[in-house]
Amino acid sequence: LAALRQTNIKRLLAYSSIGHVGFILMGLAAGNSNGVAAVLIYLLIYLFMSAGAFGCVLLMRRDGVYVENVADLAGLSRTRPWSAFVMALCMFSLAGIPPLAGFFAKLYVVLAAVEGGLTPLAVLGMVTSVIACYYYLRVIKFMYFDEPAAPFDGPVPLTLRFGLGVAAAVTVLFFLAPAAVLVPAKAAAAILLR
């Protein structure tokens, strides 16, 4: 809930991670192999979503100073369309919007929780995800619907654009081949629970 009023973009992402930790703990609380597999998948997907989001934020500097506030991203879609696109994908995925990877990460955890008899906890997790949509979509609103703020320093280096592209690709393309992650995660969960 602290993220709802947060205007500092880095703190918003940090506070939002508390909700993601809640999903991870829900998967562990399920007490079954599907819960452990869901946690492993969630951690992998969260790695790419958060790396993409934090990567975009860390690319934004004005006069050598990193941006601090969500409002500093105003009009980013017009000044740095690639960064805005990747950031939007990461925000949508962190919010759990289908068909992005974040949706499947949350889905696997919720299904494992229901299987483990934790239906009320699964419902609570879904409710908190709906609430979290507000602060993720607010970032997108600033980037795409507000007037641009002052320009950012220099162009984004090609290597960093490539890294952001990888994060975006994993976030978008996960639904095409979920078995590439699901099968090894289930095998690892089976080994962990022996």
Q: What is the pLDDT of residues 45-69, one digit of tens each?
A: 999 999 999 999 988 888 888 888 9
**Is residue 64 in a domain?**
yes
Please work out, in degrees rounded to the nearest 5, the angle formed at the alpha carbon of residue 66 by the alpha carbons of 136 and 156. 85
**Is residue 192 in a domain?**
no
Distance CA 89, CA 137 (A): 11
Q: Judging by DSSP bridges, how do beta strands 61-62 and 65-66 pair with one another?
A: antiparallel
**Is residue 114 in a domain?**
yes
* Closest residue by Cα to residue 130 from 103, 87, 95, 104: 95
Side-chain-side CA neighbours of 22 within 13 Å: the count stands at 16
Contact 23, 38 (CB under 8 A): no
Structural domain boundaries, residue 112: 2-187
Crossing angle for the helix pair 101-115 and 33-58, nearest 10 degrees? 150
**Is residue 21 in a domain?**
yes
The pair of three-digit structure tokens given for residue 64, joined into one six-digit string: 């050598």
Please tell me the predicted confidence (pLDDT) of residue 1.
Answer: 54
**Is residue 193 in a domain?**
no
Q: What is the pLDDT of residues 108-163, one digit of tens each?
A: 999 999 999 999 999 999 999 999 999 899 999 999 999 987 888 888 888 888 99
Contact 190, 36 (CB under 8 A): no
- 165 band by pLDDT with thresholds 50, 70 and 90: very high
Ranking 73-77, 84-88, 146-150 by mean pLDDT, the lowest is 146-150
Please tell me the predicted confidence (pLDDT) of residue 158.
Answer: 87
65 strand-pairing partners: 62
Average pLDDT of span 72-80: 91
Percent of the chain at pLDDT exceeding 70: 98
CB atoms within 10 A of CB 66: 14
Residue 191 predicted with pLDDT over 60: yes
66 strand-pairing partners: 61
Domains contained in the chain, number: 1
